[in-house]
Amino acid sequence: MIKVENLHRHFGGFHAVDGASLEIREGSITGLVGPNGAGKTTLFNVIAGVLPPTSGRVTMAGDDITGMSPHELFHKGLLRTFQIAHEFSSMTVRENLMMVPGSQSGETLWNTWFGRKRIADEERALQAKADEVLEFLTVDHLRDEKAGNLSGGQKKLLELGRTMMVDARIVFLDEVGAGVNRTLLNTIGDAIVRLNKERGYTFCMIEHDMEFIGRLCDPVIVMAEGKVLAEGTIDEIKANEQVIEAYLGT
Ligand code: ADP
């Protein structure tokens, strides 16, 4: 689904991504691991259109998407989760879900004057969708809670929920398990697996928790020093001498 070819991203003279090539198979939950500073986040940001690459190519189902804006990629179904923005913390969980850009037609003057009924219908549809998402994630009890009051793990679930408000095809998750307690981590893991199996989402996730990676991801791609060092099942990765050396070297 995603093919990254010889990608470079330099910051001044520093090569954060230094000729990385990899593929993310459609329908997979692909893990991206590696020591701190390996270039994982930078790679994510380039794929998701947050940073332009210095050179190299990214394609999605054969289409060149190199350097496309997050907005254009969003419409292609490529999403990257972000932490809940500060200004959304005083809104409820349900309202946060409803803020996802997309089909609302409330923006134009024409709609303001003539489309009131349609806007009301769309609002109801968005509410229903948000409620369905909360039920899917088994957190419907948090519907009217202010997002700012959620725990770290609950916020991660909400980030995942936002990808469900649109027709995502591939979702990039950046450390969705970081600082999350075991119970919520299981809820997040289950949601990822169900989205993958039941809704056909492809995932690529940066994660440090090897147990979590091992439970969810196949294959696992290892990056070090801006390049792809190895790819395989979690067991293959753990037994790979180059990988062990890369981790020990940091
Ligand atoms: P990882 O996610 O694997 O820990 P990152 O992609 O965050 O790695 O960072 C790779 C390297 O690039 C790090 O050494 C980091 O300091 C550097 N880096 C990342 N972003 C910038 C930036 N905006 N300006 C300068 N250096 C950066």
Q: What is the ipTM of this complex?
A: 0.97
Q: What is the DSSP letter of 149?
A: G
CATH 3.40.50.300 residue ranges in the chain? 2-77+167-248
Answer CATH for 2-77+167-248 from 2.60.40.10, 1.10.3720.10, 3.40.50.300, 3.40.50.20 = 3.40.50.300
Give the pLDDT score at 140: 93
pLDDT of residue 167: 77
The model's pTM = 0.89
C-alpha 187 to ligand 1 mean position (Å): 30
Ligand 1: residue of 11, 44, 46 to mutate (most ligand atoms within 8 A of CB) is: 11
Assess whether the C-beta atom of 31 lies below 6 angstroms from ligand 1: no
CA-angle at 63, arms to 61 and 68, nearest 5°: 115
b/e burial code for range 132-159 (CB count within 10 A of at least 16 → b):
ebbebbebeebbeeebeebeebbbbbbb
Write down the pLDDT at residue 188.
93
For residue 59, the model assigns a pLDDT of 98
Q: What is the pLDDT of residue 110?
A: 57
Q: Is the CB of 14 under 6 A from ligand 1?
A: yes
- Residue 161 CA, ligand 1 centroid: distance in Å: 28
42 lines ligand 1 (CB under 6 A): yes
Which segments in the chain show pLDDT lower than 50? Answer: 103-106
Task: Say how many Å lie between the CA of residue 112 and the centre of ligand 1.
Answer: 45
Dihedral angle sign, alpha carbons of residues 130, 132, 136, 140: positive
DSSP letters of 221-241?
EEEETTEEEEEE-HHHHHH-H
The single-letter code of the amino acid at 132 is E
* Ligand 1 midpoint to CA 37 (Å): 6
**Cα gap 206→44, rounded to integer Å:** 9
32 lines ligand 1 (CB under 6 A): no
